[in-house]
Structure 1
Amino acid sequence: MASEENDAPIWISDDGPYVVVTDPLDGSRNIDASIPTGTIFGIYKRLEELDDLPTEEKAMLNSLQSGSRLVAAGYVLYSSATILCTTFGSGTQTFTLDHSTGDFILTNCSLEIPRRGQIYSVNDARYFDWPEGLRRYIDTIRQGKGKYPKKYSARYICSLVADLHRTLMYGGVAMNPRDHLRLVYEANPLSFIVEQAGGRGSDGKNRILSLQPVKLHQRLPLFLGSLEDMEELESYEDVQQRVNPGYEV
C-alpha cells in the first residue's frame, strides 16, 4: 500500500494479490470551513515477477505502475451525502450511503459524463501566472466564442474530489494547470474513473493513463473532464503552468 501521507510504500503481505495507492483525505485544508472532502484510491494487481526483489524495492516498483494497469479505482465524497464512485474497468458506478442502515445503495449503475459541459473549474486568482494558451482558452469559453457557443460559468470548490464529482455530473473541465497534483495518488485513479465515464484525463498534452511514474510523489498538471471540452482545451497546446511566482506548492 502506498499513501500520499507516507514517504514510502508499505509491504503488507507476501500473499496479497493487489496493490493499493491512496490519498486518504483530499481537501483536508477545507475541514475547518466544512467544505466537502474526499478519499481517492486505485488498485493494481501485484507484479509477481518482482517477488524475488528486496521488500522495499518490490514495494516501490509495484506502486509505480502506469495508470493503464489499474484494475479498479474510486473516490468517496464526504458532503451533503456520502457518495462512493467506483470503476472496475467496465463503466463508472456511484453508490450513496444510507445512514439508517450503513449500506451503500447503487444510485447510478452507468454514470456518463456529458460530452460537453458549460462549467470550468480552476483557481482564477492565478490567471496572470498562466501560460498564454490557457488564458486564451478560458477567455474564449467565458465569452461564448469557443466551439460551444454558450458562455461558460466558473465553479471552484478547491477540493479535487468535489470539483471532479460536479464535473462528472454536469460536464465541463476541472483543472489545476500547475505541477501540483500527484500522478500516483490522484491523477491516475481519477483519470481512470473519468475515462470509464466517457471523458478524458490529461496533463494538458498527454493522456494521464499513458504516463509512467518515476517517483512515488511525482507531481504534474491535471485536466479532467468532458471529451469535447478536453479536446478543445488541448488544441490550445500551451496550457501547462510551469512557473509559480508567489505561491508555495
Structure 2
Amino acid sequence: MTTPPSAPLVTILDDEPQIRLMLAEALEAAGFRTAGFSRATEFEAAMAGLNPDICLVDLGLPDKDGLALVHRLATNLGAAIIIISGRNQVQDKITGLELGADDYIIKPFDPAEVVARARALLRRGRSVPTTKSRIARFAGWSADFDQFLLQPEDGAPTPFSHAEGEVLRLFLEAPNRLITRAQMQELLGGEAGDSFDRAMDVRVSRLRTKLRDDPKNPKLIKTIYGAGYIFLGDVQWQ
C-alpha cells in the first residue's frame, strides 16, 4: 500500500541503520511518510526542501551535538520534535525539553510507542485551536500558525517553534483568563513534574523575548506565582 503524499511526514535522524529501518517500517505501516538520515549535516541540508510534521532526533550523532541541533530546530522549524536517545539521565531529558523538544523517548523502545507519541503530537497540534482561523492579531502583533511567524507592526517577522506555538495558542485562545499548570499539562500532554514545569517556563520565557515583553514587568504574559499564567489583551482571529 502506497502512502499518500498528503500523509504526515516524519524525518528520522539516527546513525544506526537498523533503528532507522525499524522506525520507518512502523511509521509507514501506521500511515506516515518517512525520510531517514544518518548524519546531522545531511539532515540539515535536506531541510531546505522538506517540510516535516515531526522530527525524530537521536542525541548521539557522529558529526554534531544532538542537543544543539534540537535547539536550532525548535527555534527555526515549525515541526514537532521527539528526541530518541540512549541517554537516560533525568538531566538530559530536562535539557532536551528546555531546548524545545516536545517529547523524549529512551532507547531501547517499542516502535509502537513512537507511533503512538507521534500521533498524539499531531492530535495536539490540530486540536488546541478552537477557531477556524490560523492568524491571530493582538497588541500590535500577528501570529501566523501556518508559517510559525510572529509579525510586529514595526519590524521583521520572527519564527517560533512548534512547542512555543502550542503555548502561544493556549494563551491566545483564552485571553484574560488564568491558565493553570495543570491545564497546560492536560492540554499539551507530557508528564507532570519539575521537567514539564521547567519546559513550560522556558517556552514562556522565549515567547516573552520574541514579543518584546519585559520579563521583569511583563505586559502580555503575566505569571501568577503558584498558579499559572494569564495572557492580557484583546485577540482577533482571521
The TM-score range, normalised by the shorter chain, is: under 0.3
Structure with bigger strand share is 1
Structure with bigger helix share is 2
Which TM-score applies when normalising by structure 2? 0.27
Q: Greater RCO between the two (CA within 8 Å, min separation 6)?
A: 1
